[in-house]
C-alpha cells in the first residue's frame, strides 16, 4: 500500500507528505520564550563583568526566567556553567531595577574609574535591544549586578548544606 497524494500536479509519497506537514506546523508555531507571555515578559539580559584582577563573571537571564552564571575562563569564553530558575519576585525586582536606572532609555552612568573594570551589557525585550560597554564603577550597574550575584550564589547551596553546622546539627 502506498500513501501518496497529488498536490499541484505533483505526486508526493508518504515521507514527503509528512515533511510538508511538519514544516507547516513549525512555520505556524510561535515560541513563548520570546513573547510577552514568557516568564520575563520577553526580557533577555547578559552582563559580562571584568575586573582588573583578571576576574570575570557572566550572568545571563533568559526569557523563560532562567539565570545562568559562568566565572573565570568560562565567563571570558561566554559560557555559563550553572543555571537555575528565577522566582517571580526576583524577575520583578530585576525588571524594576532596569526601569529605575533607565537602561532602555540611556547608557548606564559610570565613574570611569578604575579603568580596568568593564561591564558588557546586552539587554533586549519585545521593543528592542541595547548594548553597552561601561568602564569603571557604575551606580546604575551595581544594583543589578548585586541582585544577579545574590541569585547566582544559590549554586553553592547544595554544597553548603553538606557541611557541619556550628551547633553540631546536620
Domain definitions of the chain by residue range: 41-156
Q: What is the rounded CA–CA span in Å between residue 6 and residue 13?
A: 9
pLDDT at 2 over 80: no
Q: Give the orientation angle of helix 88-100 with respect to helix 142-152, to 10 degrees.
A: 160
Beta bridge partners of 120: 48, 133
Across residues 3-30, what is the average pLDDT?
A: 41
Whether 125 and 45 have beta carbons less than 8 Å apart is answered as: no
pLDDT at 29 over 80: no
Most confident range (mean pLDDT) of 19-28, 40-49, 157-166 is: 40-49
Q: Which of 91, 31, 50, 95 is nearest to 67 (CA)?
A: 91
On whether the 41-156 domain is CATH 3.30.1560, my answer is yes
pLDDT band at 94 (very low <50, low <70, confident <90, very high): very high
pTM here? 0.72
Amino acid at each position: 500500500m502506498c500513501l501518496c497524494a497529488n498536490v499541484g500536479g505533483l505526486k508526493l509519497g508518504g515521507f514527503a507528505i509528512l515533511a510538508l506537514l511538519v514544516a507547516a506546523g513549525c512555520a505556524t508555531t510561535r515560541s513563548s520564550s520570546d513573547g510577552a507571555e514568557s516568564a520575563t515578559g520577553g526580557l533577555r539580559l547578559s552582563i559580562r563583568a571584568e575586573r582588573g584582577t583578571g576576574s570575570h563573571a557572566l550572568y545571563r537571564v533568559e526569557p523563560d526566567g532562567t539565570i545562568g552564571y559562568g566565572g573565570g575562563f568560562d565567563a571570558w569564553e561566554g559560557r555559563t556553567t550553572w543555571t537555575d530558575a528565577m522566582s517571580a519576585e526576583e524577575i520583578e525586582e530585576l525588571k524594576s531595577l532596569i526601569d529605575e536606572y533607565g537602561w532602555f532609555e540611556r547608557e548606564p552612568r559610570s565613574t570611569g574609574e578604575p579603568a580596568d573594570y568593564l561591564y558588557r551589557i546586552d539587554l533586549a525585550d519585545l521593543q528592542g535591544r541595547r548594548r553597552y560597554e561601561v568602564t569603571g564603577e557604575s551606580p546604575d550597574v551595581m544594583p543589578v549586578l548585586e541582585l544577579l550575584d545574590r541569585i547566582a550564589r544559590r549554586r553553592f547551596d547544595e554544597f553548603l548544606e553538606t557541611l557541619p553546622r556550628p551547633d553540631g546539627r546536620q
